[in-house]
C-alpha cells in the first residue's frame, strides 16, 4: 500500500517512495541505499547539517546535504559523482584535523567516526599542510563524564540531545570559522554546568570527545 502523502523519487537509478518532506538521507537509508553521515539525527528540526559527509547531487539543484534537503516528486538523486568526491574531501579534512590516538581511545572499537571513514575507504591524508592546533585541557571535573575538546569534530549532536531531549544547555558552539568549537558556558568546568550526568551526550558523540569515566 502506498504511503499517505508520499512521493516517488529516483536514487542511483532505483525508484524510491518516500514521505513528502522527508529528507533525502532518511529516504535513502530506508530503501537500503547507504549515504555516509555523522551529524544527522532524524528527529532534529532543523537538521544539524554540520559534517558534509552526506552530500549528494540532485538533478537541477546541484550538490546538497541529503540530511537537509527534503524529497519532492520526480526528484533524481545521485550519491556518486560530484557528491561522492566532495564527501571524501570532507572526510579527509576531518581526519587531518583529528588526533588519531586510536590505541588509547576510550571508544576503541566503538568509534563511529572511524567506522564511517573505513566504510568510505578514506585514510588520513599525508599531503595536507599540518593544521595549527592548540592542545586544550581535558575536563575531568564531572563525577561521571570526561569532556575532551581535542577529540571533538564539531558535529553538534551533544548540543541537540542536551537541549531538545533534556532541556539542558551545558554545551554550545563558540568562535567562528576554523576556530569554532564546542565549549561549556564561559569555559567553566563541566561540573559547574547544568549537566546531570545522564550520559545521553556520550551515546550520540561519534568520537571520544565525551565519554563516561568508567569507559576511560
At residue 215 the predicted structure's pLDDT band, cuts being 50, 70 and 90, is: confident
C-alpha grid cell, residue 136: 586544550
- 174 forms beta bridges with 181
Mind listing the pLDDT tens digit for each residue in 25-76? 999 999 999 999 999 999 999 999 999 999 999 999 999 999 999 999 999 9
- Beta carbons of 200 and 166 less than 8 angstroms apart: yes
Sequence-separated (6 or more) residues with CB below 8 Å from residue 144: 197, 199, 212, 213
The span from the first CA to the last CA of the chain, in angstroms, equals 49
Neighbour tally for 4: CB within 10 Å: 7
The sign of the CA dihedral 100, 106, 112, 118 is positive
Neighbour tally for 203: CB within 10 Å: 12
Sequence-separated (6 or more) residues with CB below 8 Å from residue 7: 17, 18, 19, 20, 71, 72, 73, 74, 75
- Beta carbons of 54 and 25 less than 8 angstroms apart: yes
C-alpha grid cell, residue 140: 575531568
Portion of the chain with pLDDT greater than 90, in percent? 79
Domains in the chain: ranges and CATH: 6-90 (3.10.20.740), 132-212 (3.30.70.20)
The sign of the CA dihedral 192, 196, 198, 201 is negative
Over residues 145-153, the mean pLDDT reads: 95
Over residues 111-119, the mean pLDDT reads: 96
SS3 of residue 62 by DSSP: strand
Mind listing the pLDDT tens digit for each residue in 168-199? 999 999 988 878 889 998 899 999 999 999 99
How many Cα neighbours within 13 Å face the side chain of 166? 18
pLDDT at 178: 79
Amino acid at each position: 500500500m502506498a504511503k499517505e502523502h508520499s512521493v516517488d523519487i529516483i536514487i542511483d537509478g532505483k525508484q524510491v517512495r518516500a514521505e513528502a518532506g522527508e529528507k533525502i538521507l532518511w529516504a535513502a537509508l530506508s530503501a537500503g541505499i547507504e549515504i555516509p553521515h555523522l551529524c544527522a539525527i532524524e528527529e532534529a528540526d532543523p537538521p544539524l547539517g554540520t559534517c558534509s559527509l552526506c552530500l549528494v547531487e540532485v538533478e537541477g539543484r546541484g550538490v546538497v546535504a541529503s540530511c537537509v534537503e527534503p524529497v519532492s516528486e520526480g526528484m533524481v538523486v545521485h550519491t556518486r559523482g560530484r557528491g561522492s568526491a566532495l564527501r571524501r574531501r570532507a572526510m579527509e579534512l576531518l581526519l587531518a584535523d583529528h588526533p588519531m590516538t586510536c590505541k588509547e581511545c576510550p571508544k576503541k572499537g566503538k568509534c563511529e567516526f572511524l567506522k564511517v571513514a573505513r566504510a568510505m575507504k578514506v585514510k588520513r591524508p599525508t599531503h595536507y599542510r599540518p593544521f595549527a592546533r592548540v592542545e586544550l585541557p581535558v575536563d575531568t571535573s564531572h563525577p561521571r563524564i570526561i569532556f575532551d575538546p581535542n577529540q571533538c569534530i564539531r558535529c553538534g549532536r551533544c548540543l541537540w540531545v542536551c537541549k531538545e531531549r533534556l532541556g539542558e544547555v551545558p554545551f554550545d558552539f563558540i568562535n567562528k570559522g576554523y576556530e569554532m568549537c564546542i565549549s561549556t558556558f564561559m569555559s567553566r568546568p563541566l561540573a559547574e554546568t547544568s549537566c546531570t550526568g545522564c550520559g545521553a551526550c556520550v551515546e550520540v558523540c561519534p568520537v571520544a570527545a565525551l565519554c563516561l569515566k568508567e569507559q576511560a
